[in-house]
Chain A
Amino acid sequence: MTAVLVKAMRDLRRRRLQAAVIFVTTLFAVGTGAMALMLISQPSDPYKAAFDAQKGAHLQVGFDSSIDPGTLTRTPSLIGATAFGGPYPATGIQFRSGGHKYAVTAYGRGNPNGDVEQLRISAGHWPAAGSEIAIALSYANLNHISVGDKLKVVSVPAQPVLTVVALVVDIDEVRADVGGGRAWVLGSAIAPLTVKDSSFLMMDYRFNGDPAGAQLQAATDTLRASLPPGSITNSTSYLLLRSVFNVPDQVLTGVLTAFSLLALAATAAIVANLVTGIVISSYREIGIMKAVGFTPLQVVGVFVLQILVPAAAACVIGIPAGTILSQPLLANSSSALGLAYQATYSPALDVLALVGALLIVSIAALIPALRAGLLKPAVVIANATAPRGQSGRWLRRLASRVGLPRSISLGLGDAVSRPVRALLTVIAIFVGVATMVVALGETRSFASIYGYEGHVGHVDVAVKKSPALADAEATQLFASQPETERVVAQTTANITVPGIADPVSSDIFRGDSSSLGYLVTAGRWIQAPGDVVAPRGLVQDAHLKLGDTFTGTFQGVTLKLRIVGEVYDFIAGPGGHELMLDWSTVAAVAPDLNPSGYLITLKRGSNVDAYVKRLGAAQPDLLDVQAASSGNTAFLATIGGVLFAIAGLIALIAVAGIFNTVLLSTRERVRETATLKALGMGPRQVIAMVAASAGFLALLGGLAAVPAGVALYRQLFDLLSNLGGDDTPAALYDVFGAWELIAIPLAGVAVAVAAALIPGRWAARTNVVEVLHAE
């Protein structure tokens, strides 16, 4: 064993450059892997911790405000709830602050405590007067609202001004960046803020243990059956909230897992390539080792050990680094919940990452090392060097026939002269380029989703209307603007769908809604009264087929609805429980239904900014007018940043791979290079020869990687869509320009050529006399 160790360590010292390549590639791969493992396992689940600490509600149900609160206080016993909160009077309000308008749901509540849904005050104090309001922390952060800000409520004619006195974390609301927005005032202060048609009573229920979805659905059904029709206006389970909260982490985890596997694959390819090269260049040594008594297993041990040492060193640094780098992402989750983040790590995970990485590296090294163990000593001593790679003649000839310079055709032949080496190098490049394609595709897709949800390209202006402003007045204002081409009015309401526990949030459109650009993945868009479209998740969960007719309940009245299409709507949330329908479907049962907003398309060539300013000035308090946009893309920037950072690391691994291959090849071919120099090959021609070899392999890897990367990108995008209960529309896949799909592999070639320049220069500086004399 000592002999094996001594020989391995001496070889390692001699092969510092190769050791550095192993170290760097393993470091990147294992660091990424450790990050992914931390996010996957989440040693301490911040949501669960916060949910337990704040006694989160397992079920929140909104009841029609006409229900007697006393009746509601008796409902917990009906459904077996062990604790409850409420009923809290609630209403949608709109307010103005610092020139911007906002919409939240305000709850009347005397204090932040209680048996269920305890609110955590992260700044300020609980409202003590009717003119004070507490705002949800995530909403305040997103919209830059601070304690002390004055909010002018514009949704009621009196337009009272409230002072923000607290920022509050509520475990029972969705995050603001995915549609959440809550505020609290004293119970006595809610009446002056209440808006007709947007008020309700909220009840929080808590059960023993962790109730499953079926139990919560049964509870909702019981409530619905025991109360007059239409009593339940909305309901939300903690399962939905938890999954919404976890979406960003799930996206990151999925991508990180895929990328870390790719990084490990690239590292394995590089290690195998490296060991193959070392074995090839050590023929005489292998023979001597065997001649002096090394067993085949010991020979294998020498080669594997000299790879394992730098790999283990990389793990020692990479695993803690990955763990540390994952902390901000984990802390992000905690801070969203108002929890003080405590750095977490799991020794078991670290050991798993260490063992996994070393196992992969060992296997990658073992396969070529076995070849060394099996070599016959007499043969290798006699031959001194490994047989030269003989492949690539066809390629060289082909290159010569098409008139490429001789140095280039020689380089092309060299590239594939050892097919295994060429294949392993192509794999490393393949992984690097494919990862870049995935990172680019996913980032673009996220951006396109944001643009899609903001109707960018279909609508020019988005308007939110205060309930205090009459629909007719707003419509008249739009019609009086000469640039107005088309107006689609919109409102949101809950409709009960058979088989779905919670009332389904529904978008109701008035006007030509087909012009909004919603992508239909199956069936067709709504055309007639009664037609509805929904994300695939709802269609599946309600056990519907396209063309099926079902009975929905809207404001206590039954509606005959027909599902005619599946629509893509990522912000419908997990499960895709959402309906879209035309105003005419509900007009008969709700003649006084009021739009909450308008989506306006302007005539071609109109000045959008001028239109927005003019409309905003016309009704500064009652209309919030904005140019159509992708909205807040902070989440997108985080995901994109992480994606590109990791893709960059994997690309570096690929660059290390090509560098390693070129280095091995140039060292192995030093005599041939010296001969060519003796025959008159100039330094530039030598460099061109080496660069052509690297460039060709990069081209092969890149050409294979582009379709594979696009396929992987689509898989990941589908995974993301599935989280939202959607099927991905073909149009959203289309995020790559044709030129990009050509440019990406070419960029890979350029990088490979650049990586080959260093070994190329070494080759060009080969001392002919020394090399040939040594031979």
Chain B
Amino acid sequence: MTELIRLTDVTKVYQGGITGALNGLSVTIEEGEFTAIMGPSGSGKSTMLNLVAGLDRPTSGDVVVGDTDLGKLGEAGLARFRRDHIGFVFQFFYLLPNLTALENVLIPAQLKGIVAPGRALELLDRLGIKDIANSYPARLSGGQQQRVAIARALINNPTMLLADEPTGALDTHTGDQVMELLGQLHRDGQTILLVTHDAKLATRHAARVLSVMDGKIVDDARLESPERAPSEMIRVRSEEASR
């Protein structure tokens, strides 16, 4: 498989922080992988995701996605990079309240100058929410909002889909549905990087689980099958995390 993401000796120290959010982290992720990043709060998993998305810059080290060294891009370049390569799904959806579901989905395409209502409707249909295309976010359930957010993330055919706790604001049943969706997308060839607390969800759908603690990867488990049970190490780590 082709290497898609490479983080080399990456550190990230927030202003005023005594210890770093990331401390010399190095990892590569290949195209088509469904990778879950797990770890306790403050471990650095969201920071890692933000660096890959070009939303934040490392204090030191290199972040390379495809052929692009993100450290060499300016603000405008990073915006273009996100627009062209990244689909981002947030824990709290972050739909724009003034736009309908369809308009929210269309936003990234429109920012690229593309008119893609057909594809947007197709995505909504694929995610089972075509009927709420003209509804505003305030009128949608959490699950519907997250599906809209996923459709929005996919509208530009991103190189990778980044999901930061996508089920964190949903009930268990809806969360399962959302994860099923991500799993289906992965099976269709989409590279996915998922940040989650939930080991069960991670191991059920991801083929690789990175465990992060104190800004370092402490475990890199490649699962034979997405449906496989968690390895002993993952179980231990997730228990530690939950404690």
Contact = CB atoms under 8 A, between A and B. Distances in A.
Please say whether chains A and B are actual partners in one complex.
yes
A472 interface: no
Interface stretch (B74-82, B120-128, B178-186, B194-202): B74-82
B94 A680 contact: no
A682 B79 contact: yes
A679 B88 contact: yes
A761 to B, nearest CB: 11
13 contacts: A388-B97, A389-B98, A405-B110, A675-B90, A675-B95, A676-B107, A678-B88, A678-B94, A679-B111, A681-B79, A768-B55, A772-B92, A773-B46
B113 interface: yes
A396 B75 CA distance: 26
B111 A769 contact: no
Interface string A670-684: 011011111111111
B76 A679 contact: no
Nearest to B15: A770
A680 B98 contact: no
Contacts of A671: 94
A392 interface: yes
Given A680-B83, A764-B75, A685 B96 contact: no
Interface in B55-100: 55-56, 75-76, 79-80, 82-84, 86, 88, 90, 92, 94-99
Given A390-B98, A396-B98, A772 B76 contact: no
A392 B107 contact: no
A502 B29 CA distance: 103
The residue in A417, A675, A768 that gathers the most chain B C-beta atoms within 10 A of its C-beta is A675
B110 A406 contact: yes
A199 to B, nearest CB: 84
A486 interface: no
A683 B98 contact: no
A24 B209 CA distance: 58
Given A406-B110, A406-B111, A768-B55, A683 B79 contact: yes
Contacts of A417: 98
Nearest to B53: A678
B92 A390 contact: no
B111 to A, nearest CB: 5
B228 interface: no
A210 interface: no
Given A677-B79, A682-B75, A683-B76, 6 more contacts: A396-B99, A671-B94, A672-B96, A679-B152, A681-B111, A769-B50
A394 to B, nearest CB: 11
Interface of A: 388-390, 392-393, 396, 400, 405-407, 413-414, 417, 671-672, 674-685, 764-765, 768-769, 772-773, 775
A677 B86 CA distance: 12
B112 interface: yes
A523 to B, nearest CB: 62
B136 to A, nearest CB: 8
Nearest to A414: B98
Contact of B82 (A414, A679, A772): A679
B84 A680 contact: yes
A768 B56 CA distance: 8
Interface residues of B, number: 31
B75 A683 contact: yes
B122 to A, nearest CB: 19
The 9 closest A-B pairs by CB, nearest first: A680-B83, A406-B110, A682-B79, A675-B94, A680-B82, A768-B55, A388-B97, A679-B108, A682-B76
Contacts of B98: 388-390, 392-393, 396, 413-414, 417
Given A392-B98, A672-B96, A405 B84 contact: no
A678 B99 CA distance: 17
Contacts of B95: 675
Nearest to B152: A679
Nearest to B158: A680
Contacts of A405: 110, 113
A770 to B, nearest CB: 9
A406 B107 contact: yes
A676 B110 contact: no
The residue in A390, A679, A682, A683 that gathers the most chain B C-beta atoms within 10 A of its C-beta is A679
Contacts of A393: 98
A675 to B, nearest CB: 4
B111 A407 contact: yes
B75 A680 contact: no
A771 B118 CA distance: 32
A685 B92 CA distance: 24
Contacts of B113: 405
The residue in A677, A678, A685, A764 that gathers the most chain B C-beta atoms within 10 A of its C-beta is A678
A393 B50 CA distance: 31
Contacts of A406: 107, 110-111
Nearest to A680: B83
Contacts of A775: 92, 94
Contacts of B152: 679
A157 to B, nearest CB: 87
A679 B111 CA distance: 9
Nearest to B50: A769
Contacts of B107: 406, 676, 679
Contacts of A684: 76
A396 B156 CA distance: 22
A553 B88 CA distance: 96
Contacts of A413: 98
A196 B113 CA distance: 88
Nearest to B136: A390
A414 B99 CA distance: 11
A390 B97 contact: yes
A109 to B, nearest CB: 83
A771 to B, nearest CB: 10
B115 to A, nearest CB: 9
A768 B152 CA distance: 17
Given A388-B97, A417-B98, A772-B90, A680 B111 contact: yes
